Amino acid sequence: MDRGLHATRSASPARERAAFTAWQVRALRPAAPAAYPFDETAAAERSGRAFDRGYDPLGIQGQDLSVLATGDRTERPRSLWVPVLVAHGTADIGKLVGQLPCLRTALA
């Protein structure tokens, strides 16, 4: 996981809706496509709805720890022989590859 993105995600959010929403907006901004302006209001609304559905801080930490614990998985997919389609826009692929390990693995 990108250490800068991980630092943003792993900061301890408060258990209140407003604090969670602000934390999520800060975490989502770096992954926003460069070709489009970041809609902070829409991101805050989506984050608030996610909080309302059932926010669990330990669940987020567990997910992040699982990603870190698995290590580099770049070589393993090369041994798979299955049809795969990875489709993404060309405008933001460069920005995302630097931040999302799953895309780096998919493109390896």
Residue 80 and residue 73 in contact, taking contact as beta carbons nearer than 8 Å: no
Tens of pLDDT, residue by residue over 3-29, are 555 555 556 667 899 999 999 999 889
The count of domains in the chain is 1
Among 31, 15, 37, CA closest to 88: 31
* pLDDT tens digit sequence for 85-102: 766 666 655 555 555 556
Range of the domain at 43: 3-107
Structure tokens that stand for 42 in this block: 């829409």
CB-based contact 38:64 (threshold 8 Å): no
Q: DSSP string of 25-91?
A: HHHHGGGS-TTS---HHHHHHHHHHHHHHH--HHHHHHHHHHHHHH---SSGGGG--S-------TT
Instruction: Report d(CA 43, CA 3) in Å as an integer.
Output: 22
The overall pTM is greater than 0.75: no
Unique residue bearing structure tokens 């709805």: 49
- What contacts 11, CB < 8 A, 6 or more positions away? 23, 26
